[in-house]
Amino acid sequence: MDADGANARQITNDRVIKPVPYASPDGRFIVYTSSKNGGEIVRIDIGGGNRSC
């Protein structure tokens, strides 16, 4: 997504709620607490690949 909010795109494909995503300081990752599995912490590449818990 551009800084003005244009060109947004979906980077996950599950139906799990992600209420408060954060961008890493270097801008390479998005980190969020998933409502799945009791609140696991998930990190995903900014491009939508390489999801890790």
Give the pLDDT score at 53.
59
Give the pLDDT score at 2.
74
Rounded alpha-carbon distances, angstroms, from residue 20 to 23, 27, 35, 41: 10, 16, 11, 11
- Tell me what the pLDDT averaged over the chain comes to: 78
What are the backbone dihedrals phi and psi of residue 37, each rounded to the nearest 5 degrees, phi first?
55, 40
Q: Which residue has the higher pLDDT, 7 or 14?
A: 7
Helical (H) or strand (E) element with 30: strand 29-33
Whole-prediction pTM: 0.61
Reported as a single tens digit per residue, the pLDDT across 29-49 is: 988 887 776 778 888 888 776
What are the backbone dihedrals phi and psi of residue 2, each rounded to the nearest 5 degrees, phi first?
-75, 165
